[in-house]
Chain A
Amino acid sequence: MSALPPYASTGQRAWYYSFRVICGLIFFFLIAPIVVIIPLSFNAQDFFTFTPEMLRLDPEGFSLKHYRNFFGDESWQTSMWNSLKIAPMATIVSVTFGTLAAIGLSQPHVPFRRAIMAILISPMIVPLIISAAGMYFFYSRIGLQGTYMGVVLAHAALGIPFVIITVTATLVGFDRSLTRAAANMGADPVTTFFRIQMPLIMPGVISGGLFAFITSFDEVVVVLFVGSAGQRTLPWQMFTGLREQISPTILAVATILVAISIMLLATVEMLRRRSERLRGMSPS
């Protein structure tokens, strides 16, 4: 359907255009809910819908009130800082362990590769509520429940599958003769790793890291169970806000988070293309 041939019948033409309309509607369904909250967050009133002033594009109808609320409110600010303290730490842990393991997993001879892979990916598959409940009981027993460390470890475990998947995907195209050439010229394994392998798999590592970061930054179920009031994160604050009485400040928070995800998505896409170029695959 890349193009409609000139000999297409009326029926084919009609289907061609109606199919595009259907797809357009599905794309609208995908995007509209996210886009619509952006203008709503500038509402001057405490409503969750467009006011007549907004529809007339009257400047009176818009304001930064909800953003001021977000930046002025102490509980929102603490929760944001908590999120910013937990997510990077969890990311570092999962990227370090994950990259090492991914390199191990892409060696030509790994015993039990399938089983190991299945175990390492399982945190992504096991329903979050089960992981959360398990960690809650186990971490309370060893004194990690309600601590910063406990939440970081839990989030690191949840982020690891993403690191493994992205880094092994980058390593699939890795040319092994490069490391052998380096060894041949006298480089020890550590030098080879940092000077040869690391720069080449860097895009995969960074996108894995971004996935791990967003996993922790977005995570709410596990932190509800493993964390205590001192680890109240942004998603936690949003979750309780949505549950109890929903305040329009959430719209401002949501808009900020959408902006962050657009930036992360752009970075990951850029890295993916770069890595495909580096590996000599067709730039898609």
Chain B
Amino acid sequence: MTDISQSGPVLAADGTPLKRSLARALRLQKMRALLLIAPLLLFILLTFILPVADMLYRSVDNRIVQDVLPRTVQALEDWDPASNQLPEEAAFAALAADLKEAANAKTHTKVAKRLNYENPGMASVFRKSGRKIKKWDVENDGPYRERLIDLNKGWGDVELWKTIKTYSGIRTSGYFLNAVDMQLGADGAEMRPENERIYNTMLIRTMRMSLIITFSCILLGYPVAWLLANLPASKANLLLILVLLPFWTSLLVRTSAWKILLQQQGVINDTLVWIGLVDDANRLVLINNELGTIIAMTHILLPFMILPMYSVMQTINPTYMRAAKSMGATDWTAFWRVYFPQSVPGIGAGSILVFILAVGYYITPALVGGTKGTFISNLIAYHISTSGNWGLGAALGAILLAVVLLLYWVYDKIVGIDNVKLG
């Protein structure tokens, strides 16, 4: 039997100091928790995080120029583009060698496509020369400068050489600059010509429309959340179903419903004509424009606003309002000074959620937005699947993702990500 009154550390049953034994138990507990989480974390990293990171890298990836034109890039190292003179004979020789090799491997079209994004017209110079240069004997067919310019007079253009030199690094800021309507000039970044600026317009439009949608959701969601929070539970639950049903209904069903309803020959226009509000000859144009996107997306995202607002309003004690009124406040003052400030967290949570979801929307704008009501997502999809300018698509995606992640971080700080309510 051990002496209980002994001095020194408290011991556990097996004789180790209690402190160490507890620390070991805690470590084991942590290990067990991590082991349970590990498979999913790995799964998400492999199927989701890694693909997204891989795509984002494409927005700065520029290895193609180095890979296809290694000798040219090296030869241009000593050339000073500011001199406005064509590079030395050596650069032309290097280019001829590179181009012949690339044309045989059929990689010259890739580099042509890449450089064409920065200097439109370069693709044809590369393609046309590539076809003929295959027959050249690169070893002793000098002088290349004259011969290349003879082959295609594009090679005599200093701008073309400047573009090759500017974009010879293995990483580039070119796509990002393009995504914000800028370009790399001889002396750093500069704005593109007025008529080529489309991406900023698109980004601003996406932000503006998402804000409008968020505000419409607040406007429509607040009264409903208030009603739900202040009705007896049984009635509120019944009405809550009306909010949850759209939430559970397929996005495509809701979008197609709007597409059908908003048509010029659709139910809404028919009803308006029947009531006499609108003349049959000039039916309202509700679809394929900004208005169509705003109406449909407000409807689709409204439940995401109502649910967080409702869960915050449920916690507001009704006695505060009564106390304010008993002290002489009018209904409006009691609401505005006492109730509303307490409901602000709900508005904040709902707004961030709705805005995050709205900014990245693709399906609904693509189907009801026409050309005027599309979002930045539609442009990204266009560059990834149709135009093939993956780098630009990735850069636009990175900008969109940065906006979303910033808001996600704010949301996590304010609301806590595990407090998201799903009905």
Residues of A within 8 A of B (CB): 1-2, 12, 15, 19-20, 22-23, 26-27, 29-31, 33-34, 36-37, 40, 47-50, 97-98, 100-101, 103-105, 107-111, 114, 116-123, 125-139, 141, 153-154, 156-157, 160, 162, 165-166, 168, 211, 214, 217-218, 220-221, 225, 235, 238-239, 242-243, 246, 250-251, 254, 257-258, 261-262, 264-265, 268-269, 272, 284
B188 beta carbon closer than 8 Å to chain A: no
CB distance from A196 to the nearest CB of B (A): 16
Chain B residues closer than 8 Å to A154, beta-carbon distance: 47
Taking each of B231, B303, B380, B420, which has the highest tally of chain A beta carbons within 10 Å of its own beta carbon?
B420
Say yes or no: B267 contacts A36, CB within 8 Å.
Answer: yes
B252 touches A239 (CB 8 A): yes
Cβ-defined partner of B265 (8 Å) among A48, A136, A258: A48
Residue contact B34 to A110, C-beta cutoff 8 Å: yes
- CB-based contact B36/A100 at 8 Å: yes
| Residues of chain A with a CB closer than 8 A to B259's CB | 242, 246
Query: Does B37 lie within 8 Å of A37, measured CB to CB?
Result: no
Task: Find chain B residues with CB under 8 A from A269 CB.
Answer: 241, 244, 423
Give CA–CA (A24, B315) in the complex, Å: 24
Could you list some 19 contacts between A and B, CB below 8 A? A2-B230, A19-B223, A30-B299, A104-B37, A120-B40, A120-B41, A126-B401, A128-B362, A130-B360, A133-B55, A133-B384, A133-B397, A137-B55, A137-B390, A165-B420, A168-B418, A242-B367, A257-B252, A269-B241
Q: How far is the CA of A128 from the CA of B53 in the complex (A)?
A: 14
Instruction: For the complex formed, measure the closest distance between the CB of A101 and the CB atoms of chain B, giving whole angstroms.
Output: 4
Q: Which residue of B lies closest to A3 (CB)?
A: B232
Question: Contacts of A165 on B, CB cut-off 8 Å?
Answer: 418, 420, 422
> Do B230 and A104 have beta carbons less than 8 Å apart?
no
B254 proximal to A (CB < 8 A): yes
Give B243's nearest chain A residue, CB to CB: A30
- A130 near B230 with CB under 8 A, answer no
Nearest chain A CB to B260's CB is how many angstroms away? 5
Bound Cα distance from A216 to B29, whole angstroms: 34
* Minimum distance in angstroms from A242 CB to a CB of chain B: 5
Chain A residues with Cβ below 8 Å from B360 are 126-130
Contact of B41 among A20, A101, A121 (CB under 8 A): A101
- B380 surroundings in chain A (CB, below 8 A): 129-130, 133
Q: How far is the CA of A108 from the CA of B237 in the complex (A)?
A: 33
Chain B CB within 10 Å, residue with most, of A125, A139, A242:
A125
Interface string of B224-249 (1 = CB under 8 A from A): 10110011110001010111111011
**Given A50-B270, A137-B58, A265-B248, A123:B48 Cβ within 8 A:** yes
For the complex, what is the distance from the CA of A43 to the CA of B254, rounded to whole Å?
19
Bound CA–CA A153/B43 (angstroms): 9
